[in-house]
Amino acid sequence: MTKFLELCVQGIATGAQYALVALGFVIIYRATGVINFAQAGFVVLGAYLAYDFHITLGVPFYPALALAMLAGALIGVIVEATVLRRLVGQPPFVVIMITIGVLTIIEQIVPTIWGANPLPLGDPWGVKSKKVGDIVLRVSDLWTIGIVFGVVVLFFLFFRYTKFGVAMRATAVDLEAALAQGISVRGVVAVSWAIAGMVAALAGVTLAGGGAGVRPDIELVAFAAFPAIILGGLDSPGGAVVGGLIIGLAQSLTAGYQPEYASWLGQGFNLVMPYFVMIIVLMVRPYGLFGQRQVRRA
Amino acid sequence: MGGAGGREPILAVNNLEVAYGAGIVVLRGASLRVETGTIVALLGANGAGKTTLLRGVSGLLPTHRGEVVGGTVMLAGERIERMAAPNIVRRGLAQVMEGRRIFAELTVDENLRAGAYTRRDRGEVHRTYELVMSMFPVLERRRQQQAGYLSGGEQQMLAIGRALMASPRLLLLDEPSLGLAPLIVQQIRDIIVQINSTGTSVLLVEQNATMALSIAHHGYVMQNGRIMKEGPAEELLADEEIREFYLGVGEAGRRSFRDLKVRRRHRWSA
Ligand SMILES: Nc1ncnc2c1ncn2[C@@H]1O[C@H](COP(=O)(O)OP(=O)(O)OP(=O)(O)O)[C@@H](O)[C@H]1O
Ligand SMILES: [Mg+2]
């Protein structure tokens, strides 16, 4: 039981990180129909920017995290304004290739500026752990869950109760009808990219925290969020969160129990597990758990 | 009541030419006027270019890769033919689009809030909201319901209510009676009259010529991207050609138009 609970908390923390990355994808996809592969690059950049603000410039950790999120928002807006805006009306395939191009550029820039070796993030969580009864929990997991939960709640409140949030959802449903209400679709797109950059930076920092360090291969973890997105449904923010949690839990429980009870599946099966869950769900629900529309404008 | 020569019309479309894509010319010099405070009906067969004219007025052509290639559109004396849609809304124009186009996944209340997007004064928005609710009691009962679950008639009411939330000086309505039962069409008709009686000018596009001409002050008939005929509504109602063409169309004929339209819309939105 102890082990199970520990695995669950770890799984939820990992799932929360996947959820953040997935949210970034979903928000951009809903506003623009673009599948933005550069999102994984934003995650990495966010972690390095937090490192620079905190370690290089000496800003205290949490303000540095906030600054990194702001910088992430700015990067999102700039990429949209300089690259993606020119591609409106191009076939989806072209747009996807371009976002992969942006990702590649980020992949080249990062080691050039910061080197390829892991850097200490200097987060206050470190490798500390906390005992609750018999259960040993990593402090970084608890903070990750807390912060991500807070941010996700804030975004959902924003989408439900603010004028601009409602406008963003309206635009996702029907772009032309939104224009007809006087909603600035260009503004909606810019804010979508800003939010995506913001959550990406936050995801990057939580991935680099807890002793993991700031490393270029954070990107790979970000890509592991893909099954979560497909699972939840590409156009559903709620689905991104639920999908992230399911994948995170499945992964951590597999890592904890599979070597013992199903060792014949081989080593590292937990890394395959997300895709396994995704394929099974897609066989039952082709558009994901919460996905609705099959085809959307490009 | 309209037509008072001295006053500036709320809308003046002069020789408007519109093309889609590489050069499919759809409007070939269409002109019409909506005198301030009046209801004007715009009639025409399927494909005549009525919706295109409305898009040219409301700034929605770019989303269809359409472009104004000639002529002008004046809203209360100001040129708007190349203005972005949000700026036109801010100048007092609202549009009820063909096919209702409510935000299906949003609640009724959220749809109405989206309609008030350009307005700042919360108190005034709230007053408009109360007004809309009193005009459409059906909406009042379904405020928190997802708009996609409303019936066709209720969705049309919501589309009109949403447009009114902008508190427009000029309201464009694109076939509001399409696909609705006669009783609901009656209601919509009465609502348009009521909206107009509070001073809002109306440009009404309709296939249902009887309904439109029965409440309009003035009417235009469009064909192939041009205005073929215009006149006071009573004159048009009495016009032989119009009687034959519009008032003679049987129910079966109208239904087949509708099917055609649904198919076409799917093609464009894919
Ligand atoms: N986005 C578009 N791209 C290309 N052609 C278009 C587009 N929209 C409309 N057209 C064409 O322009 C012409 C006029 O269309 P429009 O929708 O304005 O007619 P309408 O009078 O509103 O017809 P209806 O009564 O069927 O609504 C039609 O021939 C149509 O095929
Ligand atoms: Mg039309």
pLDDT digits (tens, 9 = 90+) for B36-67: 999 999 999 899 999 999 999 999 999 999 99
What is the predicted pLDDT for the residue at B168? Answer: 97
Residue A27 lies in a domain: yes
Task: Name residues whose C-beta falls within 8 Å of residue A290's C-beta, 6 or more positions apart in sequence.
Answer: A232, A233, A236, A238, A239, A242
Ligand 1, closest atom to CA B55? 18
The whole-angstrom separation of Cα B205 and Cα B177 is 10
Residue closest to B10 by CA, chosen among B90, B77, B76: B76
- Run of H or E residues at A219: helix A218-223
Inspect the interface and report whether the beta carbons of B118 and A182 lie closer than 8 Å.
yes
Query: How far is residue A286's CA from residue B1's CA, in Å, rounded to a whole number?
Result: 59
Whether residue A181 and residue B58 make contact (CB cut-off 8 A), yes or no, is no
3-class secondary-structure state, position B42: strand
Which stretches does DSSP call E strand in chain B?
11-20, 24-34, 39-44, 66-75, 78-79, 93-96, 170-174, 201-206, 218-223, 226-232
Answer whether B33 contacts ligand 1 (Cβ < 6 A). Answer: no
Rama region for A295: left / alpha / beta (φ>0; ψ in -120 to 50; rest): beta
Q: What is the pLDDT of residue B128?
A: 96
Residue A168 lies in a domain: yes
Q: What mean pLDDT comes out for the span A27-32?
A: 88
Is the pLDDT at A62 greater than 70? The verdict is yes
Q: Which of B73, B96, B60, B78 is nearest to B168 (CA)?
A: B96
- Protein residue whose Cα sits closest to atom 12 of ligand 1: B26
pLDDT of residue B247: 61
Angle at B85 between CA B84 and CA B91, to 5 degrees: 100
Ligand 1 atom with minimal separation from the B49 CA: 18
- CA–CA dist A97, A87 (Å, integer): 11
Q: Is B211 helix (H, G, I), strand (E, B) or coil?
A: helix
Beta-carbon separation of A182 and B105 below 8 A? no
For the segment A234-253, the average pLDDT, to the nearest whole number, is 89
Mean of the pLDDT values across residues A178-206? 95
Asked if residue A17 lies in contact with residue A224, where contact means CB atoms within 8 angstroms, the answer is no
Q: Determine the structural domain holding residue A35 and report its residue range.
A: 17-216
Q: Judge whether A224 lies within some domain.
A: no
pTM: 0.86
Q: With a cut of 0.90, is the ipTM above it?
A: no
CB contact under 8 A, A180 and B97: yes
Residue A96 lies inside a defined structural domain of this protein: yes
Residue B99 CA to ligand 1 center (angstroms) comes to 14
The confidence score (pLDDT) of residue A110 equals 93
B48 CB within 6 A, ligand 1: yes
Q: Using one digit for the tens of pLDDT, what is the confidence trace for B181-230? A: 999 999 999 999 999 999 999 999 998 898 999 999 999 999 999 999 99
How many residue pairs from chains A and B have C-beta atoms closer than 8 A? 70
From chain A, pick out residues whose CB is under 8 angstroms from the CB of B110. 166, 169-170
Helix (H) or strand (E) holding B254: helix B251-269
Name which residue sits closest to atom 26 of ligand 1, judged by CA.
Answer: B46
DSSP-based three-state secondary structure for B93 = strand
Q: Which residue of A has its CA nearest to B100?
A: A177
Angle, in degrees to the nearest 10, between helices A2-32 and A237-261: 150
Q: How many domains does chain A have?
A: 1
Residue A211 falls inside a structural domain: yes
The pLDDT of residue A267 is 76
Span A85-109, pLDDT tens digits: 888 778 888 889 999 999 999 999 9
Distance from CA of A180 to the nearest CA of B (A): 6
Confidence class for position A187, pLDDT limits 50, 70, 90? very high
Question: What average pLDDT score do residues A186-194 get?
Answer: 94
The answer to whether residue A7 sits within a structural domain is: no
Per-residue pLDDT band for B266 (boundaries 50, 70, 90) equals very low
- Specify which residues B230 forms β-bridges with: B220
Closest residue by CA, ligand 1 atom 28: B47
Q: Are B90 and A169 within 8 A, CB to CB?
A: no
Residue A31 lies in a domain: yes
Query: Which residues of B sit within 8 Å Cβ distance of A?
Result: 58-60, 63, 65, 85-86, 88-90, 94-95, 97, 101-106, 110-111, 113-115, 117-118, 162, 166, 269-270
Q: A176, B63: Cβ pair inside 8 Å?
A: yes
Length of chain B: 270
Q: What mean pLDDT is reported for chain A?
A: 89
In a domain, A291, yes or no: no
Distance (Å, whole) CA A290 – CA B18:
41
Ligand 1 binding pocket includes B208 (Cβ within 6 Å): no
Question: Could you identify the atom of ligand 1 that is nearest to the CA of residue B261?
Answer: 26
pLDDT for position B113: 96
Element (H, E) at A136: strand A135-138
Residues A111-142: tens digit of each pLDDT? 999 998 999 998 999 888 888 888 899 999 99
Give the model's confidence band at B6: pLDDT under 50 very low, under 70 low, under 90 confident, else very high.
low
Per the structure block, which two tokens stand in for A237? 């923010």
Question: Quick one: residue A77, left, alpha or beta (phi over 0 = left, psi -120 to 50 = alpha)?
Answer: alpha
